[in-house]
Structure 1
Amino acid sequence: MATELTPDALAALRTTHAQDRMAPVLTRAITKNGIEAASFDNQAASRLARTFSVELPTGKVSNQKHSGRCWEFSLLNTLRHKFATRYHVKDFELSQNYLFFWDKIERANIFYRNVEQTARQPIDDRLVQFLFANPGEDGGQWAMAASLVQKYGVVPASVMPESFNTDNTTAFQASLSRQLRKDGLKLRQLVMDGASEAELQSLEKSMLQTVYRMTAYSFGEPPTSFDLEYRDDEQHYHRTANLTPQQFYQDYFETDLDDYVVVTNSPDKPFNRLYSLPDEDNVIGGKPIEFLNLDMGVLTDVAVQQLQAGETVWFGNDVLRQMDRKTGYLDAHLFETGKLFGTNDHLTKAQRLLTGEGEVSHAMTLTGVDLVADTPTKWKVENSWGEQVGDQGYFVMSQDWFNEYVYEVVVHKHFLAPEFQALLNERAQRLPAWDPLH
């Protein structure tokens, strides 16, 4: 049991440290260069050569700038790659602003419903606190982006380009969260006072109109129809007039998002089970957020199969771990801080999730893999941070990093073995809103 640090105990710490012969040189190296630079493994470059046996053509990367919209960017990347291949338009881009607008409206709507449903729970209840913590946040899940595409369709980036507030979401997020918290407190009080369903619906309609106004002022209002115009890579001109966003998606994209499944590796909970996060759903009546929790080898196998079939892969990960932004390296041994300090600081994947260190902090797109004797050694990764990081915006990821810090891949369900497909028909086990997969 820890006790008070007495002068004698502190003196003993100093004495023992003074006996460390490496202390002077390591202190100089670390204080001068920082922990990461001092522990950086320069041999990573030889492990992460940018050559891949399977590499899909993709073109220029997108840039989410100062926003948390990676989950939307990554899904739209997988869709635009298909469009580019089918219609021979290399750098075609879909509007992230368009989906982001509707996410704000839908997420406000479901927030009002969730607040009503929890109105009789104490304000310091953990779920209530979660709902009110950041109701205007940017972050999200693959199923949330899929729900938006299924309901609202998509439009080219030229039809609804980015705005200052989508490139830099901090101020809007703060304003919207403040408005939603005020609305939520008012709804809680009305429920406690016994307001009728009609009274609550009338008030919510007025509240939602305010959110719509705030979002339209900040992002611009989404188009209801547009003219599709583009030149393909052979400079042939194409034009289709008066398309709705829903028609555009139905007519030009063959992807049925209901055929895809989020396969996760979350070893803090039992494998071979289907889980859900209903408290994070963003569209009432939309796709539920569900995860099929499987062994890491399955995630590797199905991701490879989808790439070999010519389709890129959305994947959720913890990008800030063992990552070098400048080179675009993702390697589990990139920074050897334990060796630098003479400690064993390794935590297993399950331990990181259980203690809060591990989380799904980012989404990117797999566009290639290097197979040696049918075994993946490294992966090509399309990020959404612009062309100034990595190699023109592309990262390279070791298989060790994939094993440690990749938590989700989204693949067509036909790549799953029949016994895993059967699990998709089981009732999903509900996870709490604060589960590490959120």
Structure 2
Amino acid sequence: MGYKLTLQELENFSADFNKSSQNQVVARAAQKSGVLAAAYNDRVQNELTRVFSTELATDNVTNQRQSGRCWEFATLNILRHNFGQKYHCKNFTFSQSYNFFWDKIERANNFYNYIIATASEPLDSRIVRTHLNNAGKDGGHFQMATALIEKYGVVPSYAMPESFNANNTAGFGKALGDKLKKDALVLRKLKQAGEDEKIKLVREQFLSEVYRMTAIAVGEPPKKFDLEYRDDDKNYHLDKELTPLEFLHKYMGDVDFNDYVLLANAPDHEYNKLYSLPDANNIDGTCHIQWLNVPIEYLERASVNQLKDGEAVWFGNDVGEQSDRQKGYLDSNLYQLSDLFGVDLKMSKADRLRTGAGYFSHAMALVGVDEDQGHIRQWKVENSWGEKNGDKGFFVMNNEWFKEYVYEVAVHKKYLTSEQITLAEGPAIELPAWDSLA
């Protein structure tokens, strides 16, 4: 039997609210300007200085616009910083559309794999619904981006420029998602009937149609291109007729993505364990999404050490929490909503993950850190939201925000302890597709 509110209780609530004149003052401010503006902590701007003791050479930023490609942008930003340092060309950029194209093809193929593998499950089962809900979506993980790079290489941004549908993915994503869901019903029926030979022919037709749709929406990727650029010293460079993989291996052959480990801080999971998410891979057989879950101080120290060695750090976070997009602030005390409402709204990081109040929603790159005798004060963050957000596209993040809202960083194995290196080599505990780390 449920609990029913009585009219007397509602009268009591109203009386309790109105007995304090301060509630009326706060209510007027919140109703006029919105709860976030009313709870905004102006002192933050005095504490986030944008001066960093360690800072990489950066200039322009990229812009993912109205798309969920942050994981691809952040990974390519790490790669372009590597290229920029090596070839003295800090504003060189890679084509995000190129990798976006191949992700759609590969992800459709793996979607069909998952649908066929779960054909014996009810259509409304949790695993089948999860795959159907993800059909046509943009979001992804670090290893998904590196798997695409390793298989298909990279091209300069001018070799496959951004298109409307790459910048604004909702329309194409809806059409592609609808097609994949329709295909799923056909493949499930064939699998349930035991028609495995027919499945091969049908899925090949389906994949050809996905290719057609993606080529129409985004454009076909180039098979060869000429590498042409001027470095920071205005020297001209030309290398003709490169394939995307030749470009990757010739100019960035020293980048070994197998040397990276994703350190996670998910306190709703047991620490010092390697976890994997097999139901979210985009490339069959080669992409393995894995995290080594450790206390937050290991993410901090590994990130600092990698920055001091001159390399940016890919990190996954919950950018919608305690952030000012326009000013580029990430501060755990930015909006004091508990004070505004007079209600304790604070939750632990573990509880936010357990309840879905917190989740990995965005990926960016750390390009600087400010330390005072080993104490981390703040971080410089390269975002992919264009120059009109933050300080010409760069955000500043205090370390408390890092502790509360950063969930993973991609760092080299050499920054791990020997025990962590052993753990990172497996075996991994498989997580379901709906896990909080997903």
Show CA shifts across 1:359-388 (max 9, x none): 000000000000011121100000000000
Q: Which residue of 1 aligns with 2:376?
A: 376
Which aligned pairs between 1:114-263 and structure 2 lie closer than 5 A? 114-196=114-196, 198-253=197-252, 254-263=254-263
Determine the C-alpha separation between the residues in 1 that align with 2:18 and 2:159.
66
Letter in 1 for 2:139: G
Determine the C-alpha separation between the residues in 1 that align with 2:88 and 2:216.
35
Greater alpha carbon shift after TM alignment, 156-165 vs 187-196: 187-196
SS in structure 2 of the partner of residue 346 of structure 1? coil
Show CA shifts across 1:389-426 (max 9, x none): 00000000000000000000000111101111010122
Shift of 1:90: 2.1
Q: Which residue of 2 aligns with 1:107?
A: 107
Which aligned pairs between 1:274-285 and structure 2 lie closer than 5 A? 274-285=274-285
Determine the C-alpha separation between the residues in 2 that align with 1:10 and 1:374.
54
SS in structure 1 of the partner of residue 306 of structure 2? helix
Determine the C-alpha separation between the residues in 2 that align with 1:334 and 1:361.
19
**1:16 correspondence with 2:12:** no
SS in structure 1 of the partner of residue 339 of structure 2? helix
SS in structure 2 of the partner of residue 158 of structure 1? helix
Shift of 1:354: 0.3
Determine the C-alpha separation between the residues in 1 that align with 2:87 and 2:379.
26
Shift of 1:55: 0.4
Q: What is the RMSD of the two structures over their aligned residues, measured on CA atoms?
A: 0.9
Determine the C-alpha separation between the residues in 2 that align with 1:132 and 1:18.
49
Shift of 1:2: 6.5
Q: Which residue of 1 aligns with 2:297?
A: 297
Determine the C-alpha separation between the residues in 2 that align with 1:18 and 1:168.
47
Letter in 2 for 1:21: S
Greater alpha carbon shift after TM alignment, 17-26 vs 315-324: 17-26
Q: Which residue of 2 aligns with 1:33?
A: 33
Determine the C-alpha separation between the residues in 1 that align with 2:375 and 2:132.
46
Q: Which residue of 2 aligns with 1:404?
A: 404
Which aligned pairs between 1:352-391 and structure 2 lie closer than 5 A? 352-391=352-391
Determine the C-alpha separation between the residues in 1 that align with 2:400 and 2:2.
37
Show CA shifts across 1:250-285 (max 9, x none): 010121000001100000010000000000000012
Asked if structure 1 preserves the Cα contact closer than 8 Å seen for 2:317 and 2:406, the reply is yes
Asked if structure 1 preserves the Cα contact closer than 8 Å seen for 2:116 and 2:187, the reply is yes
Greater alpha carbon shift after TM alignment, 13-22 vs 80-89: 13-22
Shift of 1:46: 1.5
Q: Which residue of 1 aligns with 2:310?
A: 310
| Long gaps (5+) in structure 1 | none
Q: Which residue of 2 aligns with 1:346?
A: 346
SS in structure 2 of the partner of residue 332 of structure 1? coil
Letter in 2 for 1:153: G
Determine the C-alpha separation between the residues in 2 that align with 1:432 and 1:134.
14
Determine the C-alpha separation between the residues in 2 that align with 1:193 and 1:3.
49
- Hey, which bits of structure 1, 4+ residues long, moved more than 6 A? none
Determine the C-alpha separation between the residues in 1 that align with 2:169 and 2:97.
11
**1:327 correspondence with 2:359:** no
Determine the C-alpha separation between the residues in 2 that align with 1:90 and 1:311.
13
SS in structure 2 of the partner of residue 365 of structure 1? strand
Letter in 1 for 2:349: K
Q: Which residue of 2 aligns with 1:430?
A: 430
Asked if structure 1 preserves the Cα contact closer than 8 Å seen for 2:18 and 2:24, the reply is no
SS in structure 2 of the partner of residue 411 of structure 1? strand
Shift of 1:21: 2.3
Letter in 1 for 2:225: F
Determine the C-alpha separation between the residues in 2 that align with 1:203 and 1:3.
54
Show CA shifts across 1:125-161 (max 9, x none): 1000001113110000000001000000000000000
Letter in 1 for 2:244: P
Q: Which residue of 2 aligns with 1:92?
A: 92
Determine the C-alpha separation between the residues in 2 that align with 1:16 and 1:366.
47
Determine the C-alpha separation between the residues in 1 that align with 2:50 and 2:206.
51
Determine the C-alpha separation between the residues in 2 that align with 1:413 and 1:210.
41
Determine the C-alpha separation between the residues in 2 that align with 1:79 and 1:28.
49
Determine the C-alpha separation between the residues in 1 that align with 2:416 and 2:280.
26
Determine the C-alpha separation between the residues in 1 that align with 2:90 and 2:262.
27
Determine the C-alpha separation between the residues in 1 that align with 2:353 and 2:332.
16
Greater alpha carbon shift after TM alignment, 16-25 vs 344-353: 16-25
Determine the C-alpha separation between the residues in 1 that align with 2:361 and 2:430.
21
Determine the C-alpha separation between the residues in 2 that align with 1:173 and 1:377.
40
Show CA shifts across 1:236-263 (max 9, x none): 1111111110010001012100000110
SS in structure 1 of the partner of residue 159 of structure 2? coil
Determine the C-alpha separation between the residues in 2 that align with 1:26 and 1:232.
55
Determine the C-alpha separation between the residues in 2 that align with 1:23 and 1:301.
44
Shift of 1:56: 0.3
SS in structure 1 of the partner of residue 158 of structure 2? coil
Determine the C-alpha separation between the residues in 2 that align with 1:24 and 1:133.
43
Pairs aligned (count): 437
Determine the C-alpha separation between the residues in 2 that align with 1:339 and 1:17.
15
Q: Which residue of 2 aligns with 1:3?
A: 3
Show CA shifts across 1:199-225 (max 9, x none): 111111110000000000111100111
The percentage of aligned residue pairs carrying the same residue is 48
Determine the C-alpha separation between the residues in 2 that align with 1:165 and 1:8.
56
Q: Which residue of 2 aligns with 1:77?
A: 77
**TM-score under structure 1 length normalisation:** 0.99
